A and B are shown apart, each in its own frame.
Chain A
Amino acid sequence: MAEPSRCDVVVIGAGLAGMTAAALLSKAGLSVIVFEATARTGGYLDFFERAGFRFDTSIQWLNQCRPGGLVYQIHQHIGSDCPDYPLLRQIHRYKDAAHDYLLTSNPLQLRDRLIQDFPHEQQGLTALFDDAEKMGRHMLFLDRRMRSVKSMTLREKLSHGLAMTRWVWPIRRIVATRAEKGLARYFKTRELLELFHSDDTMMSVLVPLGFAFTGDFQAPPKGGSGEIIAWLGRKITAAGGQVLTGHPVKEIVIDDQGSAAGVRLATGQAVQSRYVVAACDVETLFGKMIPGARIPARWRRRLHEADLFPSSFSIYLGLDCDPASLGLNEAMTRLTVAGSGVYGERTSGDPRTSAFTVLAPSLRDASLAPPGKGTLLIQCLVSMDYENHWRTGPGLERGEAYRALKQDYANALLDRVEQALIPGLRQHVEVMEVATPVTFWRYTGNRDGTIMGHKPTRKNIHAYLARTETPVKRLLLGGQWAEYGGGVPMATKAAVNASLAILRDLRPAAFGDLKAVVDGDVAVTPTIGIPRALYYFYYPALWETFFRALGLKVRVSEPSTSRTVEQAALISESEHCLPLKLLDAHLAQVIGRVDWLFVPRILSGLKGHIACPKLGALPDTAAAQFGDRVKVLSVTLDEGRVPLERSLLELGRQLGARDEVIQQAATQALAAMRAARQPPVASGPPGRARILMLGHPYHLHDTFISGPILLKLKLLDIDVELTPFGEGAFPAGPLKWDTCGKMYHHLTTLDRSRCAAVIQLTSFNCGCDSISMEFYREVLKGKGIPYMALVMDEHTAPAGLETRLEAFVDSIRW
């Protein structure tokens, strides 16, 4: 195929970052060519197949790929058919000879296990997990702060600076503290210290726990992580871009003004372009592709001396049995040797003392192995310089000594797995592949085969290594080397920032779109499920309008029918009142079709009043019942103290929207609610007396509860008025419950000549009404207005209701 000699952007490297940048840029209408030196796309995110088994080379778990996370948002922006990342429940298993702990998406289980085993350290453990939870919530904030300063206006820079300062301030001590010192603040027991002591800073101890609290752990998509690259490739091609493998770039072409003007391939062919994005190894770029004098020597020295993440020694096993039968679960098991608490020993790379991980990818995704079989991945972090560069020659050429070391190393790890976790593992092995740091270096080209590039250490940060721009104009870094750390989120972030810089210059409109996605102004898709029950009727039209104005999709459950009620009886607490039971059924109805369930906590719906106490625990009960299937979105509504508008602002912030956007949405939503709360124009001739239907909004407006009664009254030719919402203040009555207070007040203003009778609609086990009804009865008795209470529950028969209504209507007519 003849390569075009001109395009808008050349991307070097077809790893995740390069492919993401290419997809974003080609979506914006730029012509993009990706050049990949090796024969395959994917870089680290690659896979290989052996005898029906499929192995991901490196990615085991991911962050920020769930709805709302950066990767998810960007993928949704690229195309809504993006891969789906299953949430992980079992995350981490800590195992040594004496202990076996499991970290799940409910980390408190681990905490309580630990407290059971180390009762004397209860205080420290509680404090550690509390801090981890705080840290988790803290990290959520960063989801929205992924844009590099380069693409900001001055005003944005200032507010970004302030926000980051506010972010760093509460955790400044944690960030700076070394793990051994930080952990000693919590506890003294050596075993516990060893358990958590997996990394060098306190930050890296707390962040994974924090992610567990916020549930931010995902598995690669179905079919393995290669699916992400394959999908990005399809998107690039569909938008007119090209991905060319086996095309090593020889050098960057630099024009007279000192900016990049294209690349020259190893074949000698030159491709002109307006921008070049280098998503490849940074030392190769600066050392081989650019004439040396262009890069300041100091910068090159700093790059060379930077702290790097280690590489990895990986063993890929195809097993003849299901790994579950060997006692594994979807968690990643971390094996340590008890007593090797010193950080150096654990990470030395020595296969006999190092900590390493065992994972069975096929337990998360059965499609990776033939039926009845499974895959296993053993991974030990080790650096390239282990044993004199793995006993390779001066040019890293591999010989006998290398192969022998590789075999010994693998055997040592397998021995430990057999000893500590899976006795007799070797008998089950059908396929075995081994990768050393040298292998990773050969396939990815990254220096020393490092898996995540620069470490976020103080030294690196002071050297200012992570940056998108280079000394050569129009040449941008777009891969993990443009960030501290690596992995899918960081590579995506780097790609996004490189793309933003280019779009700002070449496609301002697309720049605005992408910027909004990264900043979270457009929440790309999440669908919010709203149950048509309880508070839905108290705040009519409010929630749909609000969420839609924020750009979210909304799914409101269908109106109650007798089938809803049947389901409610099955799944709900039997002693709940009918509206609460209906709530459960409505929630169950939308589950599976929404990303979030919206369930507010209602403490008060009216100034000077309180809400029914049952509404104070709604989000918690919803989470208890459905939390393992869907996320619960909640906000506290306490109108007695906090204006509704402020609560909406808080709700919007949880969804990551900007304050101005939320403000607009809130105004719109409140207006819609006020309109919906207006009583309908009264039916019938104005002079005619009417029957007042008294009840909570969730009784009066629910089709199942009030529908048959309203219909019957209509057939009896009775004009009916529903209790109005009654905006505005009124004198305090004896009842402090919001809706009851309103009803009581409305009754005190009733006029005998206009209101022929009052029918109270209530439900069985309604606590508020059981008391309030005595007060209503007294008021109405004083006014001489007839009063009847209809108590509804899931068994109420329509025939009985009709008879009672007919009799009552007769009694007031005659």
Chain B
Amino acid sequence: MTALAMPPMGNYSIALAASVECLRVTPWTSRSTTPEMMTLGAEAAPEFACLPFKATLGHFIQAAREGVEYGVMVNSVGTCRLRYYRELQQKILKERGLNLHIFGLGYDGIKPPLIRHFDPTPAAFLRCSARAFFKVRAVDRIEEQAWRTRARERHGGDTTRVMDTCLNDLDQARTVGSILAVTRSVRGRFESVPVRTDARPLRVGLLGEASVLRDKYLNHNLEETLGSLGVEVRNFFLLGNEMAKIFHISRWSKDSRRSLMRLARPYLKSVVGGHALESVAYTMACARDGYDGVVHIAPTGCMPEISVRPILRKVSQDLKIPVLELSFDEHSSHVGVVTRLEAFVDILRDRQRSGT
């Protein structure tokens, strides 16, 4: 069977892999970028390209070396650089004599090139879409539980272990029924983790650029680091919401573009691109909902995210919510990131204690 390389999208990779089974291909993917991929990508990419570009390029290069013929990546029509990434990566692969064709997923009519090429039967397509949908929901459920539990766990690492077994089971589940069974079992499994009942976790929102938010390697395992410091995080990039936005089915929900625009209006009156609007809107929502802080993360030089940072600073000042800004590139040091997070959490603890 042919293989299809899919860049990592955090734990959602499980769902994404399920979605392409109907194409009769083997998904070639992982839950996070590996150091080798990063090295390969950084070496082949233009110097000033952003971190996700280098990571995905590295992923494709490694896939091509292992004989994978096809790849797929988002080909957004937005304003950010992402729009050109597929084309540019294809060009770089070709220059290096690597034979991997990348399909773009964007607004390419009803049948995107990927579907046209593999031409799945409608029944198979629907079946896989349903599986993918339920897997996305299951991943969200698992993560929510993990965020809650990790901040309270008695022994470090318990939550991550439970989470891994859940994810592995989910990966193995082949039918909607078994996916739902895993989903139902999630809560019980996490409840078995011994927790400190007296814990008063801080609540911190994670915002920013999607792939850095979701890729554990790229963000230096931010969620777990914060979790082990006793912080209950909430990652605001949720694939379900994203899909709803793309297909315009969430017009009335509080996560729709419309409501976010409305929320962010006093500070930002344009969508900007990428998830810049979301960053501003959710920072305001976090302040309103009583979060203790926000971590805004972006790849170094990310066009949309960096351009709203002055606004985030103003929001932080006006609404009195601490915002930590982190930028990542392939040279970011893990220890440096952890130190900054620890300092940030210390500040939040002080604020929590003094009750301001």
Interface residues of A (CB under 8 A from B): 106, 108-109, 112, 115-116, 130, 573, 575-577, 580, 601, 603, 610-614, 616-617, 619-621, 623-625, 627, 636, 734-736, 764-771, 773-774, 778
Contacts and interface: CB of A to CB of B under 8 A. Distances in A.
A617 B48 contact: no
Given A575-B301, A612-B303, A624-B311, A771 B79 contact: no
A617 B266 contact: no
A613 B303 contact: yes
B80 A613 contact: yes
Nearest to B274: A613
B269 A620 contact: yes
A533 to B, nearest CB: 15
B88 A613 contact: no
Contacts of A736: 83
A767 B301 contact: yes
30 contacts: A106-B266, A112-B287, A112-B288, A116-B288, A116-B290, A611-B79, A612-B79, A613-B273, A613-B304, A614-B304, A614-B307, A617-B270, A617-B272, A617-B276, A617-B307, A619-B269, A620-B267, A620-B268, A620-B311, A624-B267, A624-B311, A627-B314, A636-B270, A766-B48, A767-B48, A767-B50, A767-B80, A770-B49, A771-B84, A778-B91
A620 B313 CA distance: 12
Nearest to A614: B307
Contacts of A734: 84, 87
B88 A621 contact: no
Contacts of B302: 767
A767 B81 contact: yes
Contacts of A765: 48, 300-301
Given A613-B303, A621-B308, A770 B81 contact: yes
A575 B271 contact: no
B345 to A, nearest CB: 23
Contacts of B274: 613
Interface string B313-335: 11100110000000100000000
Most chain A Cβ neighbours within 10 Å, of B83, B269, B313: B269
A788 to B, nearest CB: 14
A580 B266 contact: no
A112 B319 contact: yes
B220 interface: no
A735 B88 CA distance: 11
Given A613-B80, A768-B303, 18 more contacts: A106-B318, A576-B306, A577-B301, A601-B269, A613-B307, A614-B306, A617-B276, A617-B311, A620-B268, A620-B269, A620-B308, A621-B310, A624-B267, A624-B313, A766-B48, A770-B48, A771-B46, A771-B84
B306 A575 contact: yes
B276 A109 contact: no
A767 B266 contact: no
A774 B49 CA distance: 11
Contact of A774 (B80, B91, B287): B91
B46 A616 contact: no
B27 to A, nearest CB: 28
B199 to A, nearest CB: 24
A616 to B, nearest CB: 5
Contacts of B49: 770-771
B81 A771 contact: yes
B154 interface: no
B245 interface: no
Nearest to A115: B288
A769 B310 contact: no
Nearest to B270: A616
A274 to B, nearest CB: 53
Interface string B82-95: 01100110010000
A774 B78 CA distance: 20
Contacts of B307: 576, 580, 613-614, 616-617, 621
B309 interface: yes
A770 B81 CA distance: 9
Contacts of B50: 767, 770
B210 to A, nearest CB: 15
A617 B308 contact: yes
A516 to B, nearest CB: 32
Given A610-B79, A613-B307, A736-B83, A109 B46 contact: no
